[in-house]
A and B are shown apart, each in its own frame.
Chain A
Amino acid sequence: MAIVETKNIKKTYKQGKVIVEALCGVDLIVDKAEFVALAGPSGSGKTTMLNIIGGLDVPDSGSVIVDNNRFADMNQAGLASLRLHKIGFVFQAFNLIPVLSAIENVEYVMLLQGVPKIERYDRAKEILDDVGLKGKYDRRPAELSGGQQQRVAVARAIVSGPAIVLADEPTANLDSKTGEDLVLMMKKMNTGKKVTFIFSTHDNMVMDYASRLVTIKDGLIVNDENRS
């Protein structure tokens, strides 16, 4: 069952006077519970693709459907609501709100969703335990390592049971051991909780854990390899 479906996505950016073609007609279908890696060199269009799937950016042409929601039919408020309820995000860096503790960061999305306080707290605690941060609930981001911060970000992304989690180079700022631990943890969530992950990377070690590897080059998918 397709959870993400993009058709002929095109996107150009203007950098000064130069027009850069970031995506040149990308078709991608991702099924539920897949663990998809978008690979490719820097500037290939991985982040743009993730931003468009996440409703953070708008394509020049083409269509995007996420969990049966066609983006072309939605306004900004609708997209914000979709992101809140259906999509989890993990960014490369600056993932957490610095003045909130780990558990408050995880609770934050549920707060926006209107989940009652006690339920919020219990669910946040449980998911932090699942990602291996038991006992570190009250630490602020500055008191956590890079890997632990990314784990909090993953916990926040999956706590509300989203249709997909989009992770933009989640291991890029981590050492290889911590990066591998994070990918293993994401894989565990994927297999255990059936969470669909789409993540970008150019790290071969991370690609090895992907059940599907989609390679993008110069704004086009050049390879789509199922590894499961």
Chain B
Amino acid sequence: MYIILAWRNIWRNPRRTIVILLAVIIGVWSMIFLGALMRGMETQMVKNSISTLTGSIQIHHKDYRNDPVVENSMNDIDKLDKALSTILDPGTHWAKRVRVNAIASNARHAGGVTLVGIEPEKEAKISFIGKAMISGRFLLAEDKNKIIVGKAFLKKFNTKIGNKLILMSQDTQKEIASKAFRIIGIFSAESEAVEKQIVFVPISQAANMLKMGESISEISIMLPRLDITGRNETRAAEKLIAAINDDTFVIETWHQLLPMMKAYLKMSGFFLYIWYFVVFIAMGFGIVNTTLMAIFERMREFGLMKALGMRPFQIIKGVVTETFFLLVLGILTGNILGFLSVFAIAINGIDLSALAAGVQMWGIPRILYPEIWAQDVVVAGLVVLLLGILVSLYPAFKAARVTPAQAMTKN
């Protein structure tokens, strides 16, 4: 009967109940919706970042990250190959790369680029380049003197497919090595900076130009599933470190390779919870106000209940049960609306291309697809429910403190 009583009490004044319900619904909806936008942006930023040659895990020579030159290359590749084949879960892909800074030049322009020698077939499975070709063709392992460049690079160097490009860098003998490549394909990337900066050639061609023999600069590994917390990646990296057991190699996850991204994710999660709190503060005042109004209207009734022998804690329980129903109803409806609006937007995403320059600087995708995380839904619900019940304790205690004689004489 307590439940029946609480349920009927909240509908005694339907207009007031609907107003406070709307406040809870809008609050919860905004938490879910904004959370989904932020999480969608985070996930896509991470996906873009790791598919832009970072991968889930990378293996380098221990000095390569501080000084990315050909001297700091990895030699004992068989040992790494063996460990990767046996340790990593099925569905994991990896590829070797030669990666050095170089100067690209043609008749009209010269500028710094990152020369990336790739295993074309394997690279296509782990990085953006597999789906990024917009013109010409992708590289083949047996291609000689062929190069693919970004769309923006083409414009910067005022060149086109079929034209030649000279690349210069320092080789393993500390001599300047140069080689002419012919452009055979154009790729497009989320970021214009990537299109301008990175050029791809087959790994054998890069190694040959730089006199690296069998040495490579890095191995990039892509795990089957992205874990934004980085825990899966850390576990896999730890297994590899134990299996390889060689301190000339450094094995790092994307969390270590992209510290700015890690910091952004942390900050973004913190801001999301601050937003939850701000929404709740506004909602909390509404809950207290409405509950207080309802309590004051029913003071004589509480007096009657106490006269009949109801204990103060039973009155508190009754008031809190009413708030619980209001909050649960609001949270459920807010969630349904939140899910529906997120799904509606997720069909086509939100086009941010008008803000392209600004968003690219931060690695934000051009089309933003919202994403609902279970933990955010649970946290939003719990914040509203627990804090809502907490703030309703004030009016509940007020109702419980009334003395029957005082309450029954009130008009």
Contact = CB atoms under 8 A, between A and B. Distances in A.
Nearest to A91: B408
A80 B306 contact: yes
Contacts of B376: none
A94 B304 CA distance: 8
B309 A109 contact: yes
A95 B308 CA distance: 10
Interface in B4-30: 4-5, 8-9, 12
Contact of A99 (B8, B306, B311): B8
B309 A100 contact: no
B308 to A, nearest CB: 6
Contacts of B310: 80, 84, 112
Nearest to B6: A99
B308 A100 contact: no
B382 interface: no
Interface string B377-399: 00000000000000000000000
Nearest to B310: A112
Contacts of A107: 1
B71 interface: no
A34 interface: no
Contact of B12 (A57, A94, A98, A112): A98
A83 B1 contact: no
Contact of B1 (A94, A98, A108, A113): A108
A83 B309 contact: yes
B403 to A, nearest CB: 7
B309 A80 contact: yes
A1 to B, nearest CB: 24
A95 B304 contact: yes
B12 A97 contact: no
Interface in A96-124: 97-100, 104, 107-109, 111-113
The listed residue with most B CB atoms (<10 A of its CB), out of A77, A99, A108, is A99
A85 interface: yes
B5 A56 contact: no
A112 B405 contact: no
A109 B308 contact: yes
A89 interface: yes
A159 to B, nearest CB: 11
Given A56-B404, A91-B408, A97 B304 contact: yes
Nearest to A160: B309
A81 interface: yes
B307 interface: yes
Interface residues of A, number: 27
A80 B304 contact: no
A139 B86 CA distance: 76
A40 interface: no
A54 interface: yes
A209 B300 CA distance: 30
B195 interface: no
Given A56-B404, A111-B1, A89 B307 contact: yes
Given A94-B301, A97-B301, A111-B1, A89 B405 contact: no
B256 interface: no
B405 A84 contact: no
A113 B309 CA distance: 9
B314 interface: yes
Contacts of B300: 94
B1 A85 contact: no
A190 interface: no
Contacts of A77: 311
Contact of B307 (A47, A56, A81, A108): A56
B1 A104 contact: yes
Interface in A56-78: 56-57, 77
Query: Which one of A77, A83, A156 has the highest number of Cβ atoms from chain B below 10 Å of its Cβ?
Result: A83
A112 B8 contact: no
B305 interface: yes
A108 B308 contact: yes
A126 to B, nearest CB: 19
A51 interface: yes
Interface in B301-360: 301, 304-311, 314
B23 to A, nearest CB: 23
8 contacts: A51-B405, A56-B307, A56-B404, A81-B309, A83-B308, A99-B12, A100-B8, A104-B1
Given A98-B12, A98-B301, A111-B1, 9 more contacts: A56-B307, A77-B311, A83-B309, A94-B408, A97-B305, A99-B8, A99-B9, A99-B12, A100-B5
Interface of A: 47, 51, 54, 56-57, 77, 80-81, 83-85, 89, 91, 94-95, 97-100, 104, 107-109, 111-113, 156
